[in-house]
Structure formats: C-alpha cells, structure tokens
Amino acid sequence: MSPQDRRSGGKPSRGGKPTGRPAGGRSGAPRSAPNRPARPKPAPEPTIDVHDPDGVRLQKVLATAGLGSRRACEDLIASGRVTVDGQPVRELGIRVDPSKAVIHVDGMRVQLDTTIITIALNKPKGVVSTMHDPEGRPTIAQFVANREERLFHVGRLDAETEGIILLTNDGELANRLSHPSHGITKTYLAHLDGRVPPSLGGRLLRGIELEDGPVKVDKFNIVQVTPQASLVEVSLHEGRNRIVRRLFEEVGFPVTALVRTSIGPIRLGDLKPGRTRVLSKTEVGSLMTQAGM
C-alpha cells in the first residue's frame, strides 16, 4: 500500500486510487432532513372590545357589588382576576354597562342587578311547595307574603319533607337551577326504618332501577345507626317527584323523616322551619356560576 493509500485510510483500487470511507468519518455530504410543510399557526382569538365609553368604571361596579373597596377592586383587575363578557381585563380605565355586562371574578359570576333577590326558606312539614294550592292547603307563599317581587320557587319538596327551598325573581336562574341538565346537587338527611348495611352505599352509587328509570346518588354517608333505625346523608342531582323516598323504599329502608339540607352551594344551616333569609351577592354569584350563567 502506498503512503498515499495509508494516509487516506482506504484500499487501493485497480487504478491505484483509494476507495472506501475515509478513516474516522462518513463519505459524502451529510443527509439533510426531509422538507416538511410547516404547520399553520392557529389564528389568534379575536379580542373583544368590552369598553363602553358611556358606562361606569369597572372598579366602581365591582365595589358596588360588594367585592371590596375601589382600591381592592383595582387590585383584582390589575392581577387579571376579572373578566367582562368572557374577556380578561387588566386595564383600570375600562368602563362597562352594569345592566348588560357579564362579569366574573375568579370564575364566579358577579350579581350586578340590584333588583334581583334570591331567598332561602326552610319549608316546614305540612306545607306544599307552590305559591297557590287549589285544595286550600298551606303554601310557601305565606312565608314571603310581605315581598313585592314576583318570586319563582326552586326545589320542590313534598308536603311531608322539610328543608331548604329557594325563591327568586330571576326567572332564568330559577329555570337553570331546576333543570337536571345543569346537575345542581341537592343533599338530604334521611331517617330510615331499619339498620342499613355498609354495602348499601355501593348499591346506591352504582344505581337503582325504578319504575320510571334508573337513579344513582352522587354521595352517600351513614351518619348514625341503631338496631331499629338509621340516619343517612345522601346527595343527588335528580329532580323527579319524591325521588329520595322512592329510592330508599326500593332498597327496603322506608323514609320516616326527610330534610333537604342544601341546594348546590347554599346550605340550610341554622335556619328555623318557616323562616327565610336573603342570600348574599356572593351566594347568588356562586349559584349563577354553577348554573352556567
């Protein structure tokens, strides 16, 4: 092998010229990546102009709605925690129309309409869940007889069941809270005849078949048991007539007393039977958020 061949690291060819790969490297030009079409960048979402030059400053609207002082509301805006009509807002000079704007803070709807009122009532036993009864039975209207607003009731209860019912003059809120598609959870304390086994919760969570279709609970908890009776807590978003009573009747533990303790985020608390309280703006906002408003 000639010195030239040894330097090139290849074998001599018939013509005396080295062939093969050079020592320590690859022959030929480096491979280039195949040309791939660039993915189109998604078009930016259009920015909605929420500023209303004839409106009210956003921080004043928030302060009036009970979100804190104007300075505190300015901090909410500057930190990006406020949206107007779905658009994040950070500018302190934004003005909005309180009668039209949809405002959320930390994802919770802010109630701006001062004419809207929502009331929690602890319905007593023996009262029907209507504003008027053709049979002359006591109705929930007697507990709000001093209100001038036209109120819609949310959360029907049978006459023998007591607990929380909501009344509001916001028709859209009432419809949304009542419709099962929005999945507003209702929680009950049920006194049952008989000692329930621990396995009952699993059956109810999986679902029970009733004559008008299956039903399953969202949560189930045994609060207390004796050899003769049980106290349980059950949550579900069903709205069918007497659904809790029919559910426990089906599994062999008839209800002897029933109290609804909450509708969505609104709890009965220590409200006495026959008494009412006006919900705070924060509570109404949380209800509107759960109802998708």
Catalytic residue numbers? 158
Helix (H) or strand (E) holding 122: strand 118-123
Query: Is 269 buried (19+), middle (13-18) or exposed (0-12) by CB count in 10 A?
Result: exposed
Q: State the CB neighbour count (10 A cutoff) for residue 150.
A: 8
Residue 121 CA: distances (Å) to CA of 111, 141, 153, 176: 20, 11, 10, 19
Q: Are 176 and 263 in contact (CB under 8 A)?
A: no
Q: Are strands 255-263 and 162-168 parallel, antiparallel or unpaired?
A: parallel
Q: Which of 241, 224, 246, 242 is nearest to 233 (CA)?
A: 224
Q: Are 131 and 151 in contact (CB under 8 A)?
A: yes
